[in-house]
Structure 1
């Protein structure tokens, strides 16, 4: 049974979700992955307009709802506005387009995917006004941020009529984001951890976002904990992220891996084990979004 947490607007979110970024070049693979995931017990699905697979994901969700496998109110669906739709009047249109793709009446969470826009001339504060309209129009139950640093989160909080419930950021054993996590926690903002196993460079459409950094899941401490609990290094990595208060969204198209990633609720790390894994933090990103380096709102030049 998946644990849940309450967001600052009272909405309940499962503490593990299925990431769907890997399906950007293979929507059919993601369709199969979502089907496997629902059958395995997943109820949280992290999506985005730019991934190009909302239609396929929506098809499976509607099938499973129609078949009585799951109720819509028990699903938590996140999607994101892309960097070419940051103007206030574009945001609502983008959200409606995503809903049409999914074939759903609403999403549970709508995020600004990045604080930067492709043309580098739209302030994300303007984008936030469009996000608030999406809530007012009942297109989404809640809104939040993704890849925002602490200064950018603060700037949104100063102008927000509707408070962001989430900041989705890269987070794993080599980038545990402690300062940003503490900052957001103090302000009632939850953290979704994307790329929980890292995201080494791949060719094609993902190449500009990723680096060649790899996450050290073969470290002695993780191997030791893995043996103790009879869990894989990936399961230990996910449990760590849950135990430090984040919501990991591992992505996989393998049925066995999807099931294994969800099988992390029968053990819990000790405080000492968490502290040992904390020492693996190197501050290195596997998703530095180099193509936005130099843009006005590039988020990764700030300390956190």
Structure 2
């Protein structure tokens, strides 16, 4: 696991077993961490805040089930350094908040299913994948606004080089009478070569009329004018390319709420780009 080995140390409270129940009594202190779980249920008590990091360092299948009680808050960070397949189900009650950061540095497949079941619930997801060689990264989201007055936002950025393939599939569902929904979905991607490919498919399925819902997707090459500008100031072509892509990806990575994890993610991005 290299750069992320320390996540399995005393810097975190390690999750033993398949259930993490966060109560007021155990909420304070170090963030929680789980390394290569095959199944994990997370329950956060009403009004409690928690942070959890999940490291996928083995080619396994993982099922994660998250339940947030009324007013609960969870910051979930998932890091992929091996070809893991993950199903993550998130259920949120009134005024709860779940923020997810997902970062892929190898082939991986992750599916998030979020149900906003209580008024005032908020869901945020920031994701990034950096794929090279023959790697294949898949990010799939389904966010269901089942009741009125909920908010969701997702922003996923992808980079693909070599013969890599990236896929983003996102669906925002707004149930009948889920009025005053506010949902935003964005997918932005950069290709580093002619053989790389990224497929993106954001979707909206809306059955209420008083909503604010937007989605967008872009796939393009690097900004040649910006690269030329940097080269005129003494940078090599490789340095200019790396700086541009790092800036593009780090915009997402820097949103990670845990300082030490955020710094490690920034370093992992730079390390991966050096190999592409």
With structure 2 as the length reference, what TM-score do the two structures score? 0.33
Highest RCO, 1 vs 2 (Cα 8 Å, sep ≥ 6): 1
